[in-house]
Amino acid sequence: MRSTGFRRAAVAIGVCSSLALAAGACGPGDDGSASGKTRITVNCEPPKSARVDRAFFEEDIASFERRNPDIDVVAHDAFPCQDPRTFDAKLAGGQMEDVFYTYFTDAEHVVDIHQAADLTPYLKDLRSYATLQKQLRDIYTADGKVYGIPRTGYSMGLIYNRTLFRKAGLDPDKPPTTWDEVRADARRIAALGGGTVGYADYSAQNQGGWHFTAELYSQGGDVVTPDGKKAAIDTPEGRAVLRNLHDMRWTDDSMGSKQLLVINDVQQMMGSGRLGMYLAAPDNIPVLVKEKGAHYDDIAIGPMPGGKGTLIGGDGYMFDKHDTPAQIRAGLKWLDHMFLTPGKGFLGDYARAKKNAAPVGLPEPRLFTGAADARDQQAKKAYANVPVENYQAFLDGNQRLRMRIEPPDAQQIYSVLDGTVSAVLTDKDADIDQLLRDASGKIDGILARS
C-alpha cells in the first residue's frame, strides 16, 4: 500500500510526449528502433499539473539523450504511476511500456504470469546495481534471476509531535521504541487535555489492515504462513497487537473517542497539533507541513516500535517480455541516469530540489549501500533544508529491524483486517480471540482462491 500517494511521480497510460514526436508513432510492440536509434517507452512521468516535477523529469530525459544520442526515450504520463484497475489488462494486451513502473507487491505477480523480461544477462549495463540495498534488489529477484530494478523504498516508523512531547514532560529526542513505551507516552500526552490525542491509528478503507500488518511485523509475527497458503494472525503476536490497541483505546483513553479513521484524518490531527504519535513513513512529513499546517521543527520520526520488524514499500521498474536486447540495455542506462546515481537525477539532484523549495534531508528514500550511500547522504546533507536531527532516531533504529513487504493478496486481506481492527476500537467488549479466528478463516478463503 502506498504511504502517501504522490512520490514525485505519476504514471503511465498517456500519449507520446513531445520528446518523441520526431520518432514517429508511439507505443510498445514496435521493433524498438527509429531513425537508426533504439527507442524505449517509459512511464511514470509526472503529470502536467505537477509542473516542477514534470519539468525535472523532461530535463533529465533530455540530458540522457544528449549523452546517449543513439537512444530515444518516449515518456508516458498520468496519475497515479500505476492504476491497479488497468495494470493486468495492459500486460495481457501487450500495451505495457517497454520499461514500466511497479509497486514492490507487483513483482512476484508479473513474474508468475510471464510478462517480465529476464534482466540477468544485462546487469553489467547497470553500473549501479551492486550499490543498491540487497533487500530491495531481492524483491525483484526470483529463482536467481533478476526481473526488475528498485527505484525507491520506504519503511514505517513512528511520527511524533516534539512540542507535545515537551509539554507532557517527555524527551523529544528519545521517542518510544517499545509498544509499552508508546502506551505510556500516549497516556501522558492525552492527559494534557483540550482534545489532545496520544496515539491514533487507521481502521477503515483497508488502511486498518495495512497498519495491523505493520504492527504485527513489529511484534515478530506474520500475516500468512511462509508458503502463502494459510493465515498466520491467530497467534500471540496477533493478540498482542489487538490487545494493545484495545487497552490504549478503552483502558487508557489515549486514542480519543473518534474512530474509523483514515490517513487524511490522522494527518489533519497531527498537522493541527492535537496528536502525539502515529505510524507512517517519512514521506508523510512534507505532507503534514505543506498541506496540514504543521511545522518541520515540530515533527520528528522514530523507529518502528517493537524492535522485531517493520513494513516496507516502494517501487521500481520492470521490462516488457517483448523488449529487444538493445531496448533492455537502453532502459538500464536510462534508470542509471534518472534514479540510481547518488546525488544526481530526478530523485537525487538535491541542489535543484532545494532551489525549487522541495524538502531535502528526509531520511528516506535510502536506496544505496556502502560508498554510494555515503556519497548520497553527503550530498543530501549539503543541501538539507529540513531539521535532519529530528530523524536520526529513525535512521539509527530502523536499520536494525527486519524489513518485510506486504503479504500476498494484500488489499483483500486488509479489507478483512479492517473489520478486526475497527471492532476492537469501537467495541469495548470485543472478543479478540474470536475476531482473529473469524479473520483467519476469511483470509484462508482468499488465499485458496488466489
pTM, two decimal places: 0.86
Buried b (16+ CB within 10 A) or exposed e, 161-183: bbbbbeebebebeebbbebeebb
Domains of the chain: 18-154+313-380 (3.40.190.10), 157-311+405-449 (3.40.190.10)
Name the amino acid, one letter, at 359. Answer: P
List the pLDDT tens digit at each of the 450 positions of the chain: 544 433 333 333 233 333 333 333 344 444 556 568 999 999 999 999 889 999 999 999 999 999 999 999 999 987 788 888 899 999 999 999 999 999 998 999 999 999 999 999 999 989 999 999 999 999 999 999 999 999 999 999 999 999 999 999 999 999 999 999 999 999 999 999 999 999 999 999 999 999 999 999 999 999 999 999 999 999 999 999 999 999 999 999 999 999 999 999 999 999 999 999 999 999 999 999 999 999 999 999 999 999 999 999 999 999 999 999 999 999 999 999 999 999 999 999 999 999 999 999 999 999 999 999 999 999 999 999 999 999 999 999 998 999 999 999 999 999 999 999 999 999 999 999 999 999 999 999 999 998
CA nearest neighbour of 117 among 138, 94, 142, 146: 146
User: Residue-wise over 98-115: b if at least 16 C-beta within 10 A, else e?
Assistant: bbbbbbbbbbbbbbeeeb
**Interacting residues of 28 by C-beta distance below 8 A, sequence separation 6+:** 41, 94, 95, 96, 97, 98, 320, 322
